[in-house]
Amino acid sequence: MKSARKFFVGGNWKSNGTISSVKDLVFKVLNPAPINFSKVDVVVAPMAIHIPLVQSILRPEIQIAAQNASITGQGAYTGEISPEHFKDQAVPWIILGHSERRNFYGETDQIVAGKIKRTLGAGIQVIACIGENLKERESGVTTEVITRQLSAIKNSISDWRNVVIAYEPVWAIGTGVSANPNQAQEVHAEIRKWLHANAGDVAAKTTRVIYGGSVTDANSNELIGQPDIDGFLVGGASLKPGFISIVESCA
Ligand SMILES: O=C(COP(=O)(O)O)NO
């Protein structure tokens, strides 16, 4: 039952922003926004380099996520930032398994599972991304892909209350072509069915399943009206004032 789940909206800023633009987004868009936080959890994901700055100026009701973390702990891993380091920096969420990391940086299901295990073990909550590409959608194997990706991470998760699943069809990310409400609802219902069969009744009722892929203030109202869509993981539109309208469509 959808009412058992609080809405959740994430803003994935990706590799975007400068000190000046980050300050503008926080001071002019996020901090003044009239958000009903009793209805919706809001999390923004700056670039790692900007997290301390955002922590120092962002209103406390909005939480912060990192966009990735290493599968290794601290040590001789040049350039890596471990979940333990984000924990030390008081970062409460990390986005893992994003398709851009899977496609551009070779993150396999197994690597994503290892990162989720380490991140949850460090006491940080996870936004776990899954989604099929255009070829898989057109071949009619979306369910098989989603099931494979969920099965790969299942053993990394002991407490599903610390996980939000983001269904992000790769063919909708950054294209301006969102999945339509029926397409999105169909996959969200499959994910909820998988949760019920594999993660238990509590997870099936409480784990949020959010949609990502060209969400804007023009389509968020129709999407959020679907019974198994619990919110959004917003990319490009999270860098603009319209992000607040997307959040308000959930509250
Ligand atoms: O990748 C996305 C979605 O990006 P867009 O909203 O720009 O399609 N979220 O993590």
Q: How many Å from the N-terminal Cα to the C-terminal Cα in the chain?
A: 17
Asked if residue 168 has its Cβ within 6 Å of ligand 1, the reply is yes
Give CA–CA dist 173/181, Å, rounded.
Answer: 15
> Which ligand 1 atom is at minimum distance from the Cα of 216?
6
**pTM for the whole structure:** 0.98
Among 136, 168, 190, 248, the active-site one is: 168
> Mean pLDDT, consecutive 10-residue segments, the chain of 251 residues?
87 98 98 97 98 98 98 96 98 98 98 98 98 98 98 96 98 96 98 96 91 98 97 98 97 81
Asked if residue 170 has its Cβ within 6 Å of ligand 1, the reply is no
Q: Given this model, what pLDDT does residue 251 score?
A: 81
Residue of minimum CA distance from atom 6 in ligand 1: 235
Q: Given this model, what pLDDT does residue 1 score?
A: 65
Among 50, 84, 98, 136, the active-site one is: 98
> Which ligand 1 atom is at minimum distance from the Cα of 213?
8
Q: Given this model, what pLDDT does residue 153 score?
A: 98
Asked if residue 235 has its Cβ within 6 Å of ligand 1, the reply is yes
Cα-trace Rg, the chain: 17
Q: Given this model, what pLDDT does residue 184 score?
A: 98
- For 58-87, the DSSP string reads S-TTSEEEES---SS-SSS-TT---HHHHH
Q: Given this model, what pLDDT does residue 202 score?
A: 84
Q: Give CA separation, 210 vs 164, 185, 227, in Å.
A: 7, 10, 11
Q: How far does the centroid of ligand 1 lie from the alpha carbon of residue 176, in Å?
A: 10
| Three-class secondary structure of residue 39 per DSSP | coil
Tell me if residue 98 is catalytic.
yes
Tell me if residue 186 is catalytic.
no
Asked if residue 238 has its Cβ within 6 Å of ligand 1, the reply is no
Asked if residue 163 has its Cβ within 6 Å of ligand 1, the reply is no
Mutate to test the pocket of ligand 1, among 8, 9, 12 (most ligand atoms within 8 A of CB): 12
Q: Is residue 128 within 8 Å of 96, Cβ to Cβ?
A: yes
